[in-house]
């Protein structure tokens, strides 16, 4: 998925198409998402990246239903997760949410096309999703009337209805979208981070769903008595303050319990004599153990316990030693000795060194940290600063 921050100050829009007086106005919000990529909720690893996910989108919209009405709720596609067992569980939960949130229209983009056929077909059969898509078996377009707005919502770039307000739902990039003529609004799920709407030379307003639902796009249309439409736009961040509703919590609970089943079903990797665990190091390095105990690394598994995510492979991997590697962490019942970010995560498998301390451990470099301190999970990571905090 392309990730590009596009800042187009010149094209940024807060434009007034007409300066006529707006005594009588009709208002319509177009609430849009796109490129959710299976994101249900953020990991919460850092306050700075604690945004996003369909659960919070639902929480925000249901809490502000009245203020936002009347609105069209549109997802431009690429909402599905990866084609993996856990990815499928995410896709299922997202479809459950799309269905319960009563989306007006949903796009069908690359992520949807790459889903396993039988899985996706049976998922769609058990829900009624208003897909607007050029795919066979879906409606290519749909019409909506809301106050004085007469809208044509379509997935086909040629399908313009001149007398209507034309909205295209697509997965193409904004660069390609800006070459399309005749559309009033284009909503893409290309995964590009637009700073705001882009107004093209042909007066098309292009918006792009914020990747992973970190923000909800709200494009407001105000129609004056002269018939002209004035647009305004805002991004609603989906931070920690947003509480999902009980029904969404139930969908998340089902997801979490199925993920946990998935972890139980996974074959146990061969137990071998690889990692030793921290107790083997205590014999000779007690002062290092004492100072490590004071770092957050020593309590990384407790953080997962607090949020009920100890059985989610996508979380466990960075909060333990050697997840799913031979002789590493498997689950907390069978391998409790490898919970938390221990010595061997940085110094390498210590077996040989424990047996003969003249055999040296692996050197620790910035690269060692970056396995876990990624942009998404640790946006404030700065090697010298972080190194200072874990010195022992």
Asked whether position 314 contacts ligand HEC by CB under 6 A, the answer is yes
Q: Measured from the CB of residue 251, what is the shortest distance to ligand HEC in angstroms?
A: 16
CB-based closest residue to ligand HEC: 350
Kindly tell me which of 180 and 346 has the beta carbon lying closer to ligand HEC.
Answer: 346
User: Which residue number, 151 or 281, has a Cβ lying nearer to ligand HEC?
Assistant: 281
Number of chain residues interacting with ligand HEC (CB under 6 A): 58
Restricting to residues 364-383, name those near ligand HEC by CB under 6 A: 364, 368-369, 371-374, 377-378, 380-381
Does 20 bind ligand HEC (CB under 6 A)? Our answer is no
Residue 60 engages ligand HEC in binding (rule: CB under 6 A): no
Please report whether residue 44 would count as binding ligand HEC according to CB under 6 A. Answer: yes
Task: Tell me how far, at minimum, the Cβ of 121 lies from ligand HEC, in Å.
Answer: 29
List the one residue from 85, 225, 283, 294 that touches ligand HEC (CB under 6 A).
Answer: 283
* Pick 127 or 371: Cβ nearer ligand HEC: 371
Strands 205-208 and 215-223: unpaired
**Whether the Cβ atoms of residue 177 and residue 2 lie closer than 8 Å to each other:** no
89 binds ligand HEC per the rule CB under 6 A:
no
Q: Write phi, then psi, for 227 (nearest 5 degrees).
A: 90, -10
CB 190, CB 3: distance < 8 Å:
no
Q: Who's near 241: CB < 8 A, 6+ residues apart?
A: none
**SS3 category, 217:** strand
Q: Which of 28, 30, 40, 43 binds ligand HEC (CB under 6 A)?
A: 43
Output 16 or 387, the one with its CB closest to ligand HEC: 387
DSSP string, 1-25: ----EE--TTTB----S-----SS-
Q: Is 320 left (phi over 0), alpha (psi -120 to 50) or beta?
A: beta
Packed helices 54-63 and 246-265: angle between N→C axes, nearest 10 degrees: 170
Under a CB-based contact definition with an 8 Å cutoff, are residues 161 and 167 in contact? no
Asked if 389 is part of the footprint of ligand HEC (rule: CB under 6 A), the reply reads yes
Give yes or no for residue 346 binding ligand HEC (CB under 6 A): yes
Query: Does residue 192 touch ligand HEC according to CB under 6 A?
Result: no
Question: Which is it for strands 26-33 and 215-223: parallel, antiparallel or unpaired?
Answer: antiparallel
Q: Which of 90, 212, 215, 319 binds ligand HEC (CB under 6 A)?
A: 319
Burial annotation 361-380 (CB, 10 A radius, 16+ → b, else e): beeeeeeebeebbeeebbee
Q: Judged by CB under 6 A, which stretch of 66-74, 147-155, 217-225, 345-353 contacts ligand HEC?
A: 345-353
Q: Per-residue DSSP letters for 247-271? A: HHHHHHHHHHHHHHHHHHHSPPPPP
Minimum distance of ligand HEC from residue 374's CB (angstroms):
5
Distance CA 44, CA 389 (A): 21
278 binds ligand HEC, rule: CB under 6 A: yes
Name which of 99 and 303 has its Cβ closer to ligand HEC: 303
Taking the complex as a whole, the smallest distance from the CB of residue 321 to ligand HEC amounts, in Å, to 7
The residues with which 233 forms a beta bridge, in sequence order, are: 219
Segment (H or E) for 225? none
The residue to which tokens 């992520």 are assigned: 111
If the CB atoms of residues 46 and 232 are measured against ligand HEC, the closer one turns out to be 46
Among 169, 180, 229, 300, binds ligand HEC (CB under 6 A): 300
Biggest CA-to-CA distance, the chain: 86
Interface residue list for ligand HEC (CB under 6 A): 43-46, 276, 278, 280-281, 283-285, 288-289, 292, 296-297, 299-300, 303-304, 307, 309, 312, 314-315, 317-319, 341-347, 350, 353-354, 357, 360-361, 363-364, 368-369, 371-374, 377-378, 380-381, 386-387, 389-390, 392
């Amino acid at each position: 998925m392309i990730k590009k921050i596009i800042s187009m100050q010149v094209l940024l829009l807060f434009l007034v198409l007409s300066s006529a007086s707006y005594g009588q106005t009709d208002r319509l919000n177009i609430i849009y998402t796109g490129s959710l990529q299976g994101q249900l909720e953020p990991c919460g690893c850092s306050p700075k990246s604690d945004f996003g996910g369909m659960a919070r989108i639902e929480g925000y919209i249901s809490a502000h239903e009245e203020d936002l009405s009347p609105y069209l709720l549109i997802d431009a596609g690429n909402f599905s997760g990866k084609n993996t067992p856990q990815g499928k569980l995410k896709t299922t939960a997202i479809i459950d949410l799309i269905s319960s949130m009563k989306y007006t229209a949903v796009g069908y983009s690359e992520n949807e096309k790459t889903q396993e056929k039988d899985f996706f077909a049976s998922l769609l059969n058990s829900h009624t999703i208003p897909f607007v898509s050029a795919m066979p078996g879906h409606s290519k377009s749909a019409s909506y009337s809301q106050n004085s707005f007469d809208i044509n919502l379509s997935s086909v770039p040629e399908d313009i209805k001149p007398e209507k307000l034309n909205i295209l739902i697509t997965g193409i990039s904004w660069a390609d979208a800006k070459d399309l003529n005749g559309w009033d609004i284009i909503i893409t799920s290309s995964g590009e981070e637009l700073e705001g709407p882009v107004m093209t030379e042909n007066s098309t307003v292009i918006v792009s769903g914020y990747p992973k639902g970190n923000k909800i796009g709200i494009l407001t249309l105000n129609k004056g008595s002269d018939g002209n439409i004035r647009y305004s736009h805002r991004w609603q961040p989906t931070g920690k303050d947003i509480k999902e509703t009980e029904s969404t919590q139930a969908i998340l609970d089902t997801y979490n319990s199925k993920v946990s089943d998935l972890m139980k079903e996974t074959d146990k990797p061969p137990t071998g004599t690889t990692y030793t665990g921290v107790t083997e190091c205590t014999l000779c390095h007690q002062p290092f153990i004492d100072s490590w105990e004071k770092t957050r690394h020593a309590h990384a598994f407790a953080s997962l316990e607090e949020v009920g995510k100890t059985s989610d492979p996508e979380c466990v991997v960075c909060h333990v030693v050697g997840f799913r590697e031979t002789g590493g962490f498997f689950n907390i019942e069978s391998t409790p000795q490898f919970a938390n970010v221990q010595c061997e995560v940085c110094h390498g498998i210590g077996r040989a060194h424990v047996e003969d301390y003249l055999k040296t451990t692996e050197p620790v470099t910035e690269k060692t940290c970056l396995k876990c301190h990624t942009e998404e999970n640790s946006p404030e990571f700065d090697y010298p600063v972080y190194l200072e905090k874990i010195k022992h």
